[in-house]
Amino acid sequence: MLVLGIETSCDETGIALYDSAAGLIANALHSQVLTHADYGGVVPELASRDHIRRIVPLARQALADAERQLADIDAIAYTAGPGLLGALMTGAGVARSLAWALGVPALGVHHMEAHLLAPLLDAPRLRLPFVALLVSGGHTQLVKTTGVGRYELLGESLDDAAGEAFDKTAKLLGLGYPGGPAIAAQADAGRPHRFAFPRPMTDRPGLDFSFSGLKTHVANVVRTLQPLTTQDVADIARGFQDAVVETLIIKCRRALDATGMDALVVSGGVAANRALRARLKEVAPAVYYPPPALCTDNGAMVAYAGWLRLKGGTAAPSADGEERLAIATRARWPLQELAPP
Ligand code: KG4
Ligand code: ZN
C-alpha cells in the first residue's frame, strides 16, 4: 500500500510517500524559516499562504523522487490537528480533493501521534510498550504507550512547552528564530556552571513540567548583565539548555520508574537537540529517537502514522462516502482523545 503523507500544521510543508513494502521512499520538505525570520516567530497567515504555494510542487517532487505516479497512491494521510487552523486547512483541503479525484481514502492524522510513532519508522528493533517523551514547539508530554491509539498521559507542561521556552529564550538573547537550533549552537561555546538556572518542578513528586519560570530567570540575568557580551550569550544559552535537558532527564527517569517500563522514545523538534540526545543514554537501557529530520515536523511521520492506523483498521472516509470532502481540522486536539484503530 502506498500512502501519501501531508504535513502543514505549522511552518513546515512536508510531503512524503510511505510504501508498506519498501518503507519510506520519498520525504520532501520546505521549511518556512526564512518567511518568518524577520518577525521573530511564525505568522499564521503567512504560513497558510506559503503552504498553498508549496504543497503541489512538493508532492510532484516526492513522486518524482520515488519514481511513482499519482495513480499509484492508495491512500492519503494528512495532519488534521493540533496546529494553526489556517495552515491545517491547506493540507486538509489538498488531501481531500486529491483523494476524491483519485478515488482513494483520506485520513486525518493527529500531529502528536505522528511524532510519537515516528521512532518506529526508523527503529526496527523498537517494540511496544514504551514511554514517549514528546517535546515540540507546542507540547511537552510524557505518554505511556501500549499500542497505536493507546496513550496514557503521565505528565505535561503546565505552561510553556520545552520548544517554546527555547524560542522565547533565544528571543531574549537576541538570537534568531527558530530558537532551538540557535540556543544549541550558542551553548556549544558556553561555559557550564556560570549560571545555575532552576530545574523546575523536579523537587516535588509528579511528572508535570513548567518552563515559564526558567524564561523569567533568564530575563532577569539578561537585564542585570546589559550590555551582553558574546561570552555572556553563550554562557546563558549553556545554562538554560543544561537546565531544560536535566529537567527532561529527571522526569523521564521518573516516568520509567513509575510505569516499570525500560524503553524510552523521544520525539518532536526538541528531540533534535544534541545535548539532550547525549544525556538520554543515561536514562534507560533502550532509548530511541528518530534522526533529526524525523524529529522536527515532516510528512514522513504523517504518512507512517496514517499507514499504521489504516493497517489497524481505522476507517478513513471512503472516496465516495458522504464525508469525503469534509475538511475536518482541529486547532486543539488532546492526544488522550484518540482511540485504538
Ligand atoms: O516538532 P516541531 O518541529 O514543531 C512543532 O510541532 O512544534 O518542533 C519545533 C520546536 C521549536 O520550538 C524549535 O525551537 C525546537 O523544536 N527545536 C529545537 C532544536 N531543533 C528544533 N530545540 C532545541 N534544540 C534543537 N536542536
Ligand atoms: Zn511537530
HEC assignment per residue over 60-86:
HHHHHHHCCCHHHCCEEEEEEECCCHH
Closest atom of ligand 1 relative to the 275 alpha carbon: 24
Query: Which residue has the least CA distance to atom 16 on ligand 1?
Result: 269
- Interacting residues of 289 by C-beta distance below 8 A, sequence separation 6+: 119, 265, 266, 267, 271, 277, 280, 295
Task: State the Cα torsion 140-144-146-151 to the nearest 10°.
Answer: -60
User: Residue 52: what pLDDT?
Assistant: 98
C-beta of 10 in contact with ligand 1 (< 6 A): yes
- Separation CA 60–CA 17 (nearest Å): 11
Question: Residue 300: which of 2, 6, 1 has the closest Cα?
Answer: 6
48-75 mean pLDDT: 98
Closest atom of ligand 1 relative to the 138 alpha carbon: 7
C-beta of 136 in contact with ligand 1 (< 6 A): yes
What pLDDT band is residue 20 in, cutting at 50, 70 and 90? very high
User: Residue 320: what pLDDT?
Assistant: 72
13-24 mean pLDDT: 98
Task: State the Cα torsion 223-225-230-231 to the nearest 10°.
Answer: -130
**Res. 13: pLDDT tops 80:** yes
Give the dihedral sign, CA 24/13/41/117. Answer: negative
Separation of CA 335 and ligand 2 centre (Å)? 13
User: Residue 125: what pLDDT?
Assistant: 87
What pLDDT band is residue 319 in, cutting at 50, 70 and 90? low
Query: Which residue has the least CA distance to atom 23 on ligand 1?
Result: 180
User: Residue 323: what pLDDT?
Assistant: 78
Does an H or E element contain 24, and which? strand 23-31
C-beta of 52 in contact with ligand 1 (< 6 A): no
Query: Which residue has the least CA distance to atom 19 on ligand 1?
Result: 180
Lateral strand order in the sheet of 2-7: 23-31, 12-19, 2-7, 75-81, 106-110
User: Residue 122: what pLDDT?
Assistant: 87
C-beta of 272 in contact with ligand 1 (< 6 A): yes
User: Residue 174: what pLDDT?
Assistant: 96
Q: What is the largest CA-CA distance in the chain?
A: 64
| Percentage of residues of the chain with pLDDT beyond 90 | 92
User: Residue 316: what pLDDT?
Assistant: 80
pLDDT tens digit sequence for 164-178: 999 999 999 999 889
224-249 mean pLDDT: 98
Ligand 1, from 7, 186, 247, 296: best to mutate by most atoms within 8 Å of Cβ? 296
Q: Which ligand is nearest to the CA of 168?
A: 1
Separation of CA 137 and ligand 2 centre (Å)? 7
194-205 mean pLDDT: 95
131-142 mean pLDDT: 97
The b-or-e profile of 99-119 (16+ CB within 10 A means b, else e) is bbebebbbbbbbbbbbbbbbb
What domains, with CATH codes, occur in the chain? 2-116+295-337 (3.30.420.40), 128-289 (3.30.420.40)
Closest atom of ligand 1 relative to the 178 alpha carbon: 14
